[in-house]
Amino acid sequence: MRGLVLQPRDNLCGGWCGSIETADHLFLGCSVFRQVWLLIFHCLGFSFVCPGHIKDHYIHFTQLAGLSRASYSYLKVIWLASIWVILKDRNNCIFKSTVTDPYSILDKVKRVSFFMAIVELCSFSFWFS
């Protein structure tokens, strides 16, 4: 069996921005996927300064000040759905040579968030019925 040799372009961002891909760059720094977060904040009606690290982003996003405690669960669902959709879109860019569009990603995030919230509500009501 022959060993695989990685080419220099193999570590470039899946959003085709030309930068080296790290988790922080992919989800927060890539010009394409950063635009998705800006669209999400706009839809939610929030102003948000995006931290540079994914862990800090999760904490800040899911614990926005001034919201009710119940809102935090929904923000977690939206954040997780966003990460999932961005990662899937990144994989499609790499493995299927698709072109990504922040607005189509936003639509997918909305759908996935909705279905994740429904599943969470159904499972919550199952345990307490």
In tens, the pLDDT along 102-122 reads: 999 999 999 999 998 888 777
Domain ranges of the chain: 8-127
Res 99: pLDDT? 84
pLDDT surpassing 80 at residue 5: no
Res 78: pLDDT? 92
Torsion of CA 10, 13, 14, 18, to 10 degrees: -90
pTM: 0.82
Res 20: pLDDT? 83
Residues 6+ apart with CB under 8 A from 84: 112
DSSP 12: B
Average pLDDT over residues 44-68: 85
